[in-house]
Amino acid sequence: MTAAPVPALPGEATPQAGPVSRLTRLRVARAAWLAWVVLVVSLFVASLPANFEVLHRPCIPPACVEGQLTGEDFRLLQEGGIPVETYAVYFITLLCVFAAVHVSIGTFIFARKSDDPLALFVAFTLVTFGVVTYAGSLDLLAKAHSVWWLPAQFISFAGSVSLVVFLYVFPTGRFVPRWSRWLTLAWIAREALRYFFPESPIAPAAWPSVLSDLVFMGTVGTGLFAQVYRYRRTSDMVHRQQTKWVVFGVAAGLGGLLSLGLLLTVVPTLELDLLIWWVARTAFPSFLLLIPLSIGVAMLRSRLWDIDLIINRTLVYAPLTASLAGLYAGSITFFQRAFLAATGQTSDTALVLTVVVLAAAFTPIKNVLQVSVDKRFREPVDPLASLKVFQGQVRSIGALIDIEQILGRLLDEATGALQASSAGLYLIRGTETSLVKCSPGWAADHSAQVVPLRSRGHEIGALHLSESSTGKPYPDELVGFLQQTADEVARLVDVLQAFS
C-alpha cells in the first residue's frame, strides 16, 4: 500500500528530518561494524603463523607472550613424550575457539539488536577484546610486518578500552556513577601509553609489576563496583537482572582465573605434573569465556533465566566443595597417622572412616552455608508487594480506557514488531487530520507503509510507518496482523470518544 500525504496540524509545522536520518545513521553504524569485524578477524588469521612459530621458541618470564613455553615447560613436554608441535597446534586451536566464541556472540547480538547503539557497542567490545586483545596476537604480526604496527596497536587499544567502558555504562549506556567517566579517561591515557608509546619512561611497561597489577585490578574492581552501585541506586527490574548476569560472569571468570593462578603460585610443584600443567593451560582462557557468555545472556534473553538461583547455588556449593576437600585432607591424614601410631602401618580403613565423616558432615555444612547465603544475599521480602501488584493492575485498567495511552502503546508495539525506523499516528477529527503520537525522528515524508484505523466502516485515523530498519519490505503477514490489531484499537477508541 502506498503512502498517502498527511496534512499537518493547523498552525503546526510539519516535522522535518534532520540532515541525516536515524535509518541512515544505523546503516552507517552497521556497515562500520561489519568492516571492523572483517578487519579484526582478517588480522587475527594473518597473525596465526607468527604465533605458531613463537610457540616453538622458549622464553624467559616475564618476556613471554600468551601461551609461550619456558625452558621448564619444554622439559616437561619432553619428559611426557609430547612434541612441541602438538602443543603449538593445541594452543592455536584454543585461541581460535576463544576468538570464535566472542565473534559468534558479538555477531548474534548484532544480528538481533543492531538498531540499539548499546548493543552495537557491546558486540564491538566482544569481537575486539576476544579476537586480539587477550592473546596479543597482533603484536606478533606487527613485529613480523612493521607496516601493521599502528593498526595492530590501535585495534588492541580499542579492545582494552572498550571492555572497561562496558563495565561503566552497561546496561543503560550512561556512565553511572558520574565519576566513572574520569576513571575511563585515566584508563584511556594508561592504555595509550602502553600501546602507542611503549618505550616511554612513564609507560606501564616501566612500572613495577605490583603497581601495574594493582592498577589493572583496581580498574576492573571499580567497574564491578559501578555495576553494583547502578544495581542498588538506579536500575529497574530488567536492568538488575542484566547486571546480575554480567557481574556473575565477570566475577566467576576473573575469580576462577585468579584462584587458579594463586593455587599454582602457592603450590608450584603442581605444575610439575604434565596433566595438571595441561589442564591449567586450558582452564585460563576457559574461565574468561564465562564473561562473553554472561554478556550474551544479559543482552539477548528477555526473561534472563533464574540468575538468582544460579548465584545462590554457586555461593553455597563452591565453599561446600572447598570445605569438604579440606575435611577430606584433614581426616585422611589424621586416620592414617592414627593407624600408623597404633599398628605401625597404614590401613584402607582410614579411607572408609574418612568417607563416613564426609557423608555425616555434608548435610550440616550445606545447611549452615545455605542459611548464611539466604540471610545475606536473598532479596528482602517486600511488605508492599501485593499492594504494588494491585497498583499495577489499576494502572493497566486505566491504560485501557485512556485514549492517549492506547494509541501510544499501538505505536510502540507496531514500531518494535515490524522494526520500523520511526512511526506517526494520526486521528481524523471532523475534517482535520491530526498527528497525535510519533516516535523520535518521524517525518511525514518518510511514510513507507500506511495502516488505516477503521471502525464501523469508516476510518478514524491511520498509523504511518517509515522504512524498516532492516532495509527490507514489510512482510505481508505482519502487516495483515497489524491491520487487525489497528482495527481492534480503532473500535475501542471510537467507543471511548463517544463517551468523552
> Model confidence over 443-468: pLDDT tens digits?
877 788 999 999 888 888 999 998 88
Before 171, cis peptide (omega within 30)? yes
> Model confidence over 481-497: pLDDT tens digits?
889 888 888 888 888 77
DSSP 179-214: THHHHHHHHHHHHHHHHH-TTSTTSGGGS-HHHHHH
Give the cell for residue 277. Answer: 600443567
Determine the straight-line distance between the first and last CA of the chain, rounded to whole angstroms: 33
| Closest among 45, 40, 161 to 106, alpha carbons compared | 40
Confidence of residue 168 (pLDDT cuts 50, 70, 90): very high
> Model confidence over 320-367: pLDDT tens digits?
565 656 666 666 677 667 767 777 666 667 666 766 766 677 677 667
Alpha helices in 344-402 (DSSP H): 349-377, 385-400
Angle (nearest 5°) at CA 20 between 16 and 25: 130
Q: Is the dihedral of CA 45, 46, 50, 52 positive or negative?
A: positive
Task: Give the integer Cα–Cα distance in Å for 493 and 500.
Answer: 10
Q: Domain 400-499: give its CATH superfamily.
A: GAF domain (3.30.450.40)
Angle at which helix 117-128 crosses helix 84-113, to 10 degrees, equals: 170
Please classify residue 404 by burial: count the beta carbons closer than 10 Å to its beta carbon, then call 0-12 exposed, 13-18 middle and 19+ buried.
exposed
Residue-level pLDDT at 431 = 81
Q: What is the mean pLDDT of the chain?
A: 79
Q: Under 8 Å CB-to-CB from 249, ≥6 apart: which residues?
A: 290, 291, 292, 293, 294, 295
Number of alpha carbons in the 13 Å side-chain half-sphere of residue 481: 8
pTM above 0.75?
no
Mean pLDDT of 238-262: 81
Percent of the chain with pLDDT over 90: 12
**C-alpha 48, offset from chain centre:** 26
Residue-level pLDDT at 3 = 42
For 459-476, b/e burial (b = at least 16 CB within 10 A) is: ebbbbbbbbbbeeeebee
CB-CB contact of 281 with 67 (8 Å): yes
How many residues make up the chain in this entry? Answer: 500
Which sequence spans correspond to the domains of the chain?
23-305, 318-377, 400-499
> Model confidence over 44-97: pLDDT tens digits?
888 888 888 888 888 887 778 788 888 888 888 888 888 999 999 999 998 888
